[in-house]
Amino acid sequence: MAEIDARLREDVHLLGELLGDTIRAQHGEDFLERIERIRKGAKAARRGSEEGAQQLGETLDGLREDQLLPVARAFNQFLNLANIAEQYHRIRRRRTDEAPPFETHVLGELLARLRGDGHAGDALAKQLAGLEIELVLTAHPTEVARRTLIQKYDAMAAQLAVQDHDDLGAAERDEVRDNLQRLIAEAWHTEEIRRVRPTPVDEAKWGFAVIEHSLWHALPRVLRGVDRTLQDCCGERLPLDAAPIRFASWMGGDRDGNPNVTAAVSREVLLLARWMAADLYLRDVDRLAADLSMQQASDALRARAGDTPEPYRQVLKTLRERLRATRSWAQSALRESLAPGAAVLQHTDELREPLELCYRSLHECGMGMIADGALLDCLRRVSSFGLFLVRLDLRQDAARHAAALGEITEYLGLGRYGEWDEARRLAFLQEELKNPRPLLPADYQASEDTAEVLATCRVAAQAPAESLGSYVISMAGAASDILAVQLLLKESGLRRALRVVPLFETLADLDNAGPVIERLLGLADYRASLCGPQEVMIGYSDSAKDAGTTAAAWAQYRAQERLVEICREQQVELLLFHGRGGTVGRGGGPAHAAILSQPPGSVNGRFRTTEQGEMIRFKFGLPAIAEQNLNLYLAAVLEATLLPPPVPQAHWREQMDRLAADGVAAYRAVVRENPQFVDYFGQATPEQELGRLPLGSRPAKRRQGGVESLRAIPWIFAWTQTRLMLPAWLGWERALGNALARGEDETLREMRESWPFFRTRIDMLEMVLAKADADIARLYDERLVEPSLRPLGAQLRDLLSQACAAVLGLTGQSQLLGHSPETLESISVRDAYLDPLHLLQVELLARSRQSPAEPDAPLEQALLVSVAGIAAGLRNTG
């Protein structure tokens, strides 16, 4: 087993020691010793010690009712502190004898490789500058930690950075220790669990905070590095207006199954984004006005500034007044409908132009070094964030649009839209889209649901074009679903292009994606109305929940291949939008490997993907971590565009067809066809309790019903808590097992060696299997599941064992993650803190189900803290 880096171990030890001091101060030495006995017992039990297991069980059994919550909190906090130390370790100062992180040189190495393959420097610079990567921040309810705690954790990471210098004196080290002690005490005395569920506006504000505190600083640094790398490798500069990375958001726009997201909420979030953008640019311009005190200026700048000794300051002061007017208007418009005044900035170009005027003047006057500092950073932000900070996507279920049109056609005496076949729907929609007269009379009184759909469309029509991204249609299944939204938008006053994007989610929908888009592009009027690429969203979460990850992954791949082929034939550009979650069961995994594993031709300089919940914090919460991940995106999208993976060979495709068929049959045999499964799921996991956890604004279920009604996130979250991790691997055990039994191991190894798609799937499967733990899952069954259902649990654990054996048989390893001992050690170190939380959770679930407590009761709070702690320990939970 690999040893964890000594400096990381020291940081973890320091944070744990300070947490212990904090606990001792509140609960006394005896309680702290009990925590330590639990930890040591868990560690010994993990190593196979029966004495350790007995000590662990007895210590936990001996806890009084009033000790359950502080014990759960202690282990929860330690896991959060370990995360902080591990996250900081990724970005810590490197010694001169240490290699720099992969993320810092991946782009330079790629450009050098491309130059070596004969790509011209100017062509590479143009390709890189023209990349269109859009990261869409979503508020899926897996971010367990409260925002106030996240801020304290970030402050702790900053203190670890302060102490990461060998030349600190004793007094300076003492000061760092005192600061850390204070921050840990603040975190310990702060409730981990929100008392109330956040609203969609709260979620949007959380997303804006990530931009304010991290991405706002990280993005210009990344682009500064790109500029430098381009100069070194290609002799070219990154153009001023280049924006290879942009950001969008679903927070406040995603109304699919969330009744809390209304038209009024979307309007409020759009205004809050305007306010936040103006405020952030004001800070930049204030600094620039203070710094740019020089007198020498170009004729163009002097003409703008007038007769003044400090022309740059004069131009920037004018811009500052307009930003203040914009911020003030946005603030007022939140309270009442208010038209923007003449001073309010309406277009990003109005913000860019005076800044660019200053920039060019400085270069003309020999002050390029000054121009390429904070001013260039500000211009980079303008190009990427624009005047509106993030573009808001809107999302709604196709059934809501069909229902609205059904109500309208009945009102107009045209019949029932919902009963029409596809041909009749398309004929009606195309005719109405061409018709200049309104479809609806001014006095039409819609039902509540239809009125809300139309109100959302009016928000889209009234919002500035730059402030909106795409209108995404969940559960899209036909070309009419796209035209239906276009007609509703037209009726609401939209007179410009807005991308209307079908989202194909289930296995059947993915298989049908090609025919739908082919029919859509075959409509002459639709084709003529296209402005820019045809965007299509690929759903990872629901397809995996529907069919298991084996069949879903192959269906996603084949759907993308077909879409690429259709758009090439139709001579239409394609933009694929990847709805990936944080876990393997929701399409998650390392972004760099995932991008490089996409079908050839599917990236082509464009890549749009969701970044959700907790993964936003882990990937973008700290500026230096954000820089690393943004660099990975840039390098991966450029490589996938210019060095696409190979087209899969015919016998690989046949092999994947067999794997997918076996995988979906095995998955559905358990999840859909076993009559005991739904009852077992409800008893063996904290699924029913997760509904009480105030995580996100969205309900856990779309509607009443069984597994099919659950959202993909709580479905996966529940299995993660018990460590069975079922959604991420179920189906692979039969798919791989049957293939190995048929003697197809040579083909599988060839695919793993030569096909990035298959290699990435197996790597992600191996990771999740390494985190799974059948012994922990058994504890939940023994305490919580009625005897008649326990054989199903035993069967599932046996399937888990088969999945592990199949992966080891394919990889030729004796141990999962044997090729990555550091990752394996990182997982195993956490088990000494996770095991007590699992044992506590099992007991708390049993007690809670026997006699349900009030939400504020210590037992209920301890249960929710255990959920949060396990989520923190395993990291990618949803």
Q: Could you report how far apart the first and last alpha carbons of the chain are, in Å?
A: 29
Residue 517's nearest CA partner among 466, 470, 483 is: 483
Q: Annotated active-site positions, please?
A: 140, 545
User: Within a 10 A sphere around the Cβ of 484, how many other Cβ atoms?
Assistant: 25
Residue 308 CB contacts under 8 Å (≥ 6 apart), including other chains: 314
Backbone phi and psi for residue 397, each to the nearest 5 degrees, phi listed first? -75, 140
User: Hey, what are 541's tokens?
Assistant: 């979460």
Residue 72 CB contacts under 8 Å (≥ 6 apart), including other chains: 837, 840, 844, 862, 863, 865, 866, 869
Distance CA 783, CA 683 (A): 10
CB 416 within 8 A of CB 274: no
Distances (CA, A) of 179 to 160, 162, 175, 185, 264: 10, 11, 6, 10, 43
Backbone phi and psi for residue 503, each to the nearest 5 degrees, phi listed first? -110, 115
User: Hey, what are 277's tokens?
Assistant: 């953008």
What count of Cα atoms within 13 Å lies in the side-chain half-sphere of residue 64? 3
Residue 709 CB contacts under 8 Å (≥ 6 apart), including other chains: 701, 702, 703
On the 0-12 / 13-18 / 19+ scale of CB atoms within 10 A, 335 is exposed
Bridging pattern class, strands 606-612 and 574-579: parallel
Radius of gyration (C-alpha) of the chain in whole angstroms: 28
Distance CA 591, CA 596 (A): 9
Distance CA 254, CA 470 (A): 11
> What's the sign of the alpha-carbon dihedral 819, 823, 829, 834?
negative
User: Hey, what are 727's tokens?
Assistant: 């959604």
On the 0-12 / 13-18 / 19+ scale of CB atoms within 10 A, 227 is buried
Amino acid at 50: E
CB 359 within 8 A of CB 376: yes
Backbone phi and psi for residue 468, each to the nearest 5 degrees, phi listed first? -110, 150
Distance CA 433, CA 430 (A): 5
Can you tell me whether residue 539 is helix, strand or coil? strand
Partners of 471 in the β-ladder: 394, 500
Q: Say what angle helices 774-784 and 677-684 make with each other, to 10 degrees.
A: 100
User: Within a 10 A sphere around the Cβ of 488, how many other Cβ atoms?
Assistant: 26
Residue 725's nearest CA partner among 650, 785, 633, 804 is: 804
According to DSSP, residue 254 is labeled B
Amino acid at 52: G
DSSP 564-608: HHHHHHTT--EEEEEE--SSGGGT-S-HHHHHHTSPTTSSTTEEE
Distances (CA, A) of 420 to 417, 429, 430, 481, 874: 5, 12, 14, 13, 49
Distance CA 847, CA 63 (A): 14
CB 486 within 8 A of CB 500: yes
Question: Position of tokens 């393997």?
Answer: 584
Amino acid at 866: S
